[in-house]
Amino acid sequence: MLPVPSQLPKSFPRSGAPTNGITSPITTPGQRNSYSRIGPKLKSSSSRPKPYPSRLALHVTDILSHAYADGTLETYGSGLLAFHCFCDSRGVPEAHRAPASPDLLSAFLAALAGNYAGKTLDGYLAGVRAWHIIHGVTGAPNKSECDALVRAAITLQPQTATKKRRLPYTVDIITILLSHLDPAIPLDASVGSCLTTGYYSCARLGELTVKTLSSFDPSKHVKRSDVREETDANGLVMTVLGLPVTKSKQTGEDIFYSAQNDSTDPRRSFANHLRINAPPLDSHLFSYKHKGVHRPLTKTAFITRIHKAFKAAKLDPLQGHGIRIGATLFYLLRGTPFDVVKTIGRWASDAFLLYLRKHAQIMAPYMQANPRLHSEFLRISMPPVRCKSSS
């Protein structure tokens, strides 16, 4: 399934969905099977031959659709909608859309360049590719030309397409926000616990919240029963949250935090949340009492309440991702080794190293006349040397 995007591409007439809406696999969220069953109208020679019955071919398509995470499919759905709108506006017959010729894909990217961010175009192209892959359609874009067009789009992208830099949350900011939350109010107790938990565990906000009130899925979202404590040989206690599914691991991952010595202590906030809200073991971890029932904490509810706290404190609100960014910087500036912070935050190398390049305070100790620190920095930041074995 490729979910319906929240809005149509601005470059195309807002006359509704593409004219070939039935053959465009863009359906409502939660209907992944609809996506795998609704394919492009093809010329007989366009799709790969299936050496097995059509029922098995459909099953293969169903399984392939699960190779993509829900969030990825949502982005791909926007790209596919943009592609069909482009084809409709240019009168491209349906049979010529799959397989999409390299020239058609290049024309599609060129039409959007200057209106969208380069990263957006890259995602849109990936959505069209995924549609081809899942339905067994042969054909490939001109990679070098498409890559060049995406680079050109980055150069031409409008100022409005450039995201404002995500500023980090800090312990001081969280302290101020907590002072504007009432720990005796169910929603505030939940939000405060979610904020401190997310910060000290370097979690993604979407891993601790749900999209909508009705979207809570115990097999995908963290529950109260997923929390445990572990103690090492030295008696140090860690609180561990077992996330059933994450953005990068469909099999789930553990995140963890320890007690802190100030008002931002996540263990204290969590204990207060349990006392005020007492969420059932099988409910969303940060569910809170609302009109006699437990309501899962949505990302929207969290952001809305946090922004009200920012406003009350007369501070400019920060983006949700700033929690994870701030947590990473917190541990780095505290002197935690790079590889340990990388493990805590489950960062990919290229994403993690952005912090080394952008923040002078982190780099400063490693740029002094200190051989030991210099060697440590090189060990972590440089790839290992591969030596040829002697024959």
What pLDDT, in 10s, does the model give residues 70-127?
Answer: 667 777 778 888 888 888 888 888 888 878 888 888 888 888 877 777 778 888 888 8
Choice among 151-165, 192-206, 240-254 with the minimum mean pLDDT: 151-165
Q: What are phi and psi of 86, to 5 degrees?
A: -60, -45
| pLDDT over 90 (residue 321) | no
Task: Judge whether residue 15 has pLDDT over 50.
Answer: no
Does the domain at residues 171-321 carry the CATH identifier 1.10.443.10? yes
Mean pLDDT for the chain overall: 77
Residue with tokens 């593409």: 18
The boundaries of every CATH 1.10.443.10 domain in the chain are 171-321
- CB 259, CB 270: distance < 8 Å: no
pLDDT value at position 352? 64
Least confident segment among 9-23, 199-213, 214-228: 9-23
pLDDT in tens, 127-183: 888 877 777 776 666 677 777 777 777 777 666 655 556 678 999 999 999 999 999
Query: Which pLDDT belongs to residue 388?
Result: 55
Mean pLDDT for 17-33 is 40
Asked whether the predicted pLDDT for residue 21 surpasses 70, the reply is: no
Which has more pLDDT, 289 or 77?
A: 289
